[in-house]
Amino acid sequence: MCLAIPGKIIEIKENKAVIDYGTEKREAAIVEGSFKKGDFVIVQGKIIIEKVPAKQVKQWLELVSKDEA
């Protein structure tokens, strides 16, 4: 099973975005869709595949934080 972790777009240059995961930053390609700085996304194989609503990311982060406490 694979766990997809949402990251936040912090920079976009042409068809490449820099995604911040909190502990590291990675580059991913924008193949289709409309994305902007500040969007939360899911990346697979260095390609952005989905935008994640901020509300959903907040709920996910709250769940993860409970597991660490």
Extents of the domains making up the chain: 7-68
> Which residue's structure tokens are 């869709």?
33
The pTM assigned to this predicted structure is 0.85
pLDDT value at position 67? 57
> Which residue's structure tokens are 């099973």?
1
| DSSP strands (E only) in the chain | 7-13, 16-20, 25-29, 40-44, 47-52
In this structure, is the dihedral angle defined by the CA atoms of residues 35, 56, 27 and 29, taken in order, positive or negative?
negative
The CA–CA distances, whole Å, from 69 to 20, 60, 65 equal 23, 15, 6
Tell me the mean pLDDT per 10 residues along the chain, length 69: 86 97 95 95 96 91 71
CATH hierarchy code of domain 7-68 = 2.30.30.140
